[in-house]
Amino acid sequence: MESIRIIDIVGTAAFSIAGASAAMEKKLDVFGVFIIAFITALGGGTLRDVLVGEVPIRWLSDLSSGVIVLLSTIATIFFKTVIKDYHNILLFFDSIGLGFFTVVGIQTGISLDLHPVGCIALGTITACFGGVIRDISLSNIPLIFEKEIYATTSIFGGLVFFLLMKMGAPKMLFEVTCLVSIVVFRLLAVKFHWQLPTIWKSEKL
């Protein structure tokens, strides 16, 4: 991992905006908003790097990630006076981040020669766990464990990734297709309330 890449930048910015929006909805102070944006954007990647032993963590020595989070947070606070609709902003940027970071995580797995299942696990961890840590920090039930399809979208994108790869598609194509399919799938899932089955739903417990 030499220098920061476009894909990291977009994912980091998108999750920072989503995180800052969530924190503002909870009326945290400006520092709290920044910290939550940071956790949302870099938490998943940090957990991934700790699990694969890629330490010291890059954001301690390379300040570019922190700068992106800072600028995104400032932009979110600034535009908040213009745009009122937190919920849809959060959803949109969260979906973008989900797509980009799934690809980043899968790439890490491939660079470690992991089995596709391990790669998809890393993609899902990278994409989802920043949000989980954010939700736990804000005392919300993690979005990932609620009914809405979320982590499943990331896994679905990972399957698309490896399917196209096995079919011999060029790298650019299966990365972009993975990313786009995640964003589209996520937005559709929310719009049409797609849910995974809970076969024990009907019972009283």
Site string for a second copy, 74-93 (x = CB under 8 A): ---x--x-----x-------
Q: Distance between CA atoms of 41 and 51, rounded to whole angstroms?
A: 17
Given 7, 118, 163, 176, the residue binding a second copy (CB under 8 A): 118
Token pair in block for residue 11: 């994912």
Given 1, 5, 50, 170, the residue binding a second copy (CB under 8 A): 50
In the complex, what is the shortest distance from the CB of residue 176 to a second copy, in angstroms, rounded to a whole number?
25
Token pair in block for residue 148: 């809405």
62 in the Ramachandran plot: left (φ > 0), alpha (ψ -120 to 50) or beta? Answer: beta
For residue 26, what is the DSSP state?
T
The gap between the terminal CA atoms of the chain, to the nearest Å, is 49
Q: Distance between CA atoms of 27 and 21, rounded to whole angstroms?
A: 10
Does the footprint of a second copy cover residue 20 (CB under 8 A)? no
**Among residue numbers 130 through 189, which ones bind a second copy (CB under 8 A)?**
132, 136-139, 141-142, 144-147, 151-152
Token pair in block for residue 138: 């804000």
**Among 11-19, 90-98, 118-126, 173-181, which window interacts with a second copy (CB under 8 A)?**
118-126
In the complex, what is the shortest distance from the CB of residue 116 to a second copy, in angstroms, rounded to a whole number?
10
In the complex, what is the shortest distance from the CB of residue 173 to a second copy, in angstroms, rounded to a whole number?
26
Q: Three-state DSSP class for 148? A: strand
Residues 6 or more apart whose Cβ sits within 8 Å of residue 66? 38, 59
Token pair in block for residue 187: 């937005």
Does the footprint of a second copy cover residue 3 (CB under 8 A)? no
Does the footprint of a second copy cover residue 70 (CB under 8 A)? no
Task: Summarize as ranges the residues that interact with a second copy (CB under 8 A).
Answer: 24-32, 35-36, 46, 50-53, 55-57, 60-61, 63, 66, 77, 80, 86, 109, 112, 114-115, 117-118, 121-122, 132, 136-139, 141-142, 144-147, 151-152, 195-201, 205
